[in-house]
Structure 1
Amino acid sequence: MRGASPDLVRRALAERDPLPGTAGFAGELDGRLVRDVLGRQPLFSERADPARWSFDHRDLDDPVAVPAGRARGTAGEAAGDDERVWSLPDPPAATDRDAALDRVRDAVFESVRSVDDDGLAVAFSGGVDSAVVAAGVPDVPCYVAGFEGSHDVAAAHEAAAAMDRDLTVVELTHEALERAVPEIVAALGRTNPMDVQIVLPLYLLAERVAADGYDRLAVGQGADELFGGYAKVQKAPDDPRVEADTVRGAAREMILTLPDQLERDLLVLRAAGVDPVAPLLHDRVVSAALPLPGELLVDGDRRKVALREAASGVLPESVAEADKKAVQYGTYASRELDRLARQAGFKRRMENHVQQYVESLVE
């Protein structure tokens, strides 16, 4: 069992407690494979023989992921059957603004300050998410990846200076992208270009971190989903990318996408040689975020209101309020992968031209 003790998971199963005080878990327990409600640890079993399982799909011939919040039988008539054992809580919206903010502040900083800094580095983009994580481990080195002139590199330099932190820049190159793509595809088992673009800078940053002697990487994953960081949440219900008719409902939709995203990110980071540490995805932070009303998620053009308010007493204002681009755009990974595809003859007029290029690199 990864991420929690067997006794704690047994208790969570018996009580149907989806948030029992962990940062996620998965593994085998009493003849079943179990994965926490947000899928913070990936878990796979062999399609024809669920008793064969692994945390890495590459160890299996025909792997099938255990869905988040499920228990999968490994033997007998229940072999291969998935039972939902945990569901994400859906509490009513908090009505006391100050109490809700206090709860977020306490949960966030207890989580980031509880991180063991042994062998740890921080993935630092200069946004509030990674800056909050970095603030919890003040003696840990910070790293940012990006092409020369990219938004993330500039933002990380500014934030590191404001926080008086050392920063290592991992400069991305076309050669690095071409080398990394087949390795990422092998780790993921998929060639979806959006997934590849998202994890390219993370993978190359993690490789550098591992080469520098660190084996754990602290990341800000989960903050955008939990605290309303997406433009499509801000624009709800007018954005066709969400079904919800409220900001709060749209944020919940994003939280429910976490299992697939976290599986992707964790597999890639481990393939690069580090274990991820995501303190903003601890159960205490999730529990504090779920009741937030819409106005503490988005207020006009300001997203992640509660997280920024929580950070305001700890981070410089310029960092707490900094805008952030999605990693594939802020690092130029998406733009430059598209450029490489076109240079290789995969023009934009061709259907799925970037995916065709990615697939050509792994043939």
Structure 2
Amino acid sequence: MTEPTIRGADPATVRDALADAESLPGTTGFAGELDGQLVRDVLGRVPLYVETDPDLDPDAESQTAAWAFEPSALEDPTLFPAGAAAPVGESLPEPESHWTLPDLTPETDHAAAIDALERAVRTASEAVNQDDRDIAVAFSGGVDSALVAELLDAPLYVVGFPDSHDVEAARTAADAMGRNLTVVDLEPADLERAVPEVARAIGRTNAMDVQIALPLYLVGERVAADGFDALAVGQGADELFGGYEKVVHLDHRVDAETVRGAVREGIRSLPDQLPRDVLTIEATGLEPVAPLLHDAVVEAALRLPDDLLADEDERKRGFRRVAARYLPAEVANRDKKAVQYGSLVARELDRLARQAGYKRRMDDHVTKYVASLLEDGETTAE
């Protein structure tokens, strides 16, 4: 039997979850090798990669690694499917072939549903506070990161260009909460330097992923330089609680016919998104902390009825009701911009791409610019 190499949970918990096919066993996710099997939790909260075409011949002169937690450790990495378990070296199983996202009956008593969600959020924050880590919060001034900051009582850091929405929103939210705030002001040179580092860390060069990862990376650098061990984020709230416009309008971006169905689709997008964020934070030397992705919170979210998720008047209604018990109303009810837009990173990266000759008339011009910076960095290293 091989020595277990598991991240995110202890081996005994994962063994029990395997034996019982328990999808939400009270963790914040897990992945790795256990008793000769590769495993990854149902939401894919811990990245796990396998070699697309592994050389497992023991007599081979240069045997490649079969799996890794980082894509950079493999020659041709592929994400191991979330919710799956399979012997090391075998063909990839289907997503959710061992653990499936539970289809829970919605709680019709709104007060009971909100109370249950509050208990779950407190369970998640208490689990974080049990660990002996110095934690800071990536703070945008929105309700997600504000609730995380309040429950963890951790220092607040915001990143963005000086005239950005996020910096102003974070300042006003911190003032309303009576909290100090560290502002990480950006300039274009920060993006030029960080782009190849981020692209290598996440194993992706597409513009959207890099734009989302850059603010996390740049705020993480400052947090790490200030001596912290971990960076807490509000990731998962939009997917779990109905934070996107598409779940209200049920437009062409969703297949579902109900808000709850559209939210489930969003939750199932997390296994592809979360590795980007986790790898970005880890690349700064920090441990990622995402309390809102704790199993207890996921289970409570899956029990919310449509009208505690989102409608034309309000998104993340149930979550905001919980947040209002801890935050000033102006913060609990505040809408936010996606981080790449709120920080102005997307705007400035587009500007840099055009200045470098990658014009908007070119297909995917920012992605081409990112790839060029990555190539330049590799050439310099050689």
TM-score interval (norm. to shorter): over 0.9
Q: Are 1:5 and 2:10 counterparts? A: yes
Identify the residue that residue 18 of structure 1 maps to in structure 2.
23
Letter of the 1:186 partner, please give it: R
TM-superposition CA deviations, 1:164-210 (whole Å, max 9, x none): 11111111110000111101111122211000111111110001111
Q: Are 1:124 and 2:136 counterparts? A: no
Alignment of 1:1-363 (within 5 A): 1-46=6-51, 47-49=53-55, 52-74=66-88, 79-82=90-93, 84-116=97-129, 118-138=133-153, 140-236=154-250, 239-363=251-375
TM-fit CA distance, 1:285: 0.1
CA distance in 2, matches of 1:286, 1:38: 10
TM-superposition CA deviations, 1:262-294 (whole Å, max 9, x none): 111111111122110000000000000012111
Letter of the 2:294 partner, please give it: H
Q: TM-score, normalised to structure 1's length?
A: 0.95
CA distance in 2, matches of 1:228, 1:54: 33
CA distance in 2, matches of 1:223, 1:125: 14
Q: TM-score, normalised to structure 2's length?
A: 0.91
CA distance in 2, matches of 1:207, 1:148: 18
CA distance in 2, matches of 1:20, 1:197: 33
CA distance in 1, matches of 2:214, 2:81: 25
- Helix, strand or coil for the counterpart of 2:162? coil
- Helix, strand or coil for the counterpart of 1:19? coil
TM-fit CA distance, 1:81: 4.2
Residues 81 and 92 of structure 2 are in contact (CA less than 8 Å); yes or no, is this contact kept in structure 1?
Answer: no
**Which of 56-65 and 200-209 deviates more?**
56-65
CA distance in 1, matches of 2:178, 2:110: 32
The alignment's C-alpha RMSD in Å is: 1.4
CA distance in 2, matches of 1:225, 1:81: 26
CA distance in 2, matches of 1:296, 1:172: 37
- Helix, strand or coil for the counterpart of 2:176? helix
TM-superposition CA deviations, 1:120-148 (whole Å, max 9, x none): 1111111110011001122x211000111
CA distance in 1, matches of 2:128, 2:176: 22
CA distance in 2, matches of 1:49, 1:6: 27
Residues 80 and 92 of structure 2 are in contact (CA less than 8 Å); yes or no, is this contact kept in structure 1?
Answer: no
Letter of the 1:159 partner, please give it: A
CA distance in 1, matches of 2:245, 2:284: 30
Letter of the 1:137 partner, please give it: L
Residues 73 and 82 of structure 1 are in contact (CA less than 8 Å); yes or no, is this contact kept in structure 2?
Answer: no
CA distance in 1, matches of 2:260, 2:222: 38
TM-fit CA distance, 1:39: 0.5
TM-fit CA distance, 1:36: 0.4
Which segments of 5 or more consecutive residues in structure 2 lack a partner in the other structure?
1-5, 57-64, 376-382
TM-superposition CA deviations, 1:300-349 (whole Å, max 9, x none): 33111011001111111111001111111111111111111111111111
Aligned residues: 357
CA distance in 1, matches of 2:187, 2:245: 29
CA distance in 1, matches of 2:127, 2:168: 29
Which segments of 5 or more consecutive residues in structure 1 lack a partner in the other structure?
none
TM-fit CA distance, 1:49: 4.3
Residues 73 and 81 of structure 1 are in contact (CA less than 8 Å); yes or no, is this contact kept in structure 2?
Answer: no
CA distance in 2, matches of 1:114, 1:42: 21
